[in-house]
Amino acid sequence: AMAAVRDAEIDPEGTFKYILVRLQRPGGGEQRDIVRGTKAAEFHNHIFEKVNPEMEKLGYECKCLGGGKIEHNSKDKKIRVFGLSTGYGKADHSVTVEILKKEYTDYEITWSDDKK
């Protein structure tokens, strides 16, 4: 079920790239957006190349809606969403923040159009 897919999977600490991905059942129907981010990705498409096959196995089509960066400070319980992806364009950071709030309920989460 789509509910089994976590809303957000990001690294526990640091500043790293992220993408906003739309999952959809082939032929339309149910869809939802998820956030994935990691320091391991040099480029935004590296994240998508990892997420896409995982989601295809579960029977979903994936579309990258854009990207940016996340600054995750677990000690202070703060997350900042900013920047953009050269390849995918800028994700709607306000959507990303709403998704992150589901996973990080006790965090202060902000976003901006700043590049750094």
Cβ-contact 21, 6 below 8 angstroms: no
Q: Note if 44 is an active site residue.
A: yes
The response to whether 17 counts as a known ligand-binding position is yes
**Identified catalytic residue from 44, 46, 72, 93:** 44
Q: And the tokens for 100?
A: 């992150």
Please give the helix or strand (H or E) that residue 20 lies within, else none. Answer: strand 14-24
The CA distances from residue 105 to 34, 36, 80, in Å, are 16, 17, 14
Please give the helix or strand (H or E) that residue 46 lies within, else none. Answer: helix 44-57
- Residues found in the chain: 116
CA-based nearest residue to 39, from 21, 12, 64: 12
What are the catalytic residues? 44
Binding residues for substrate: 17
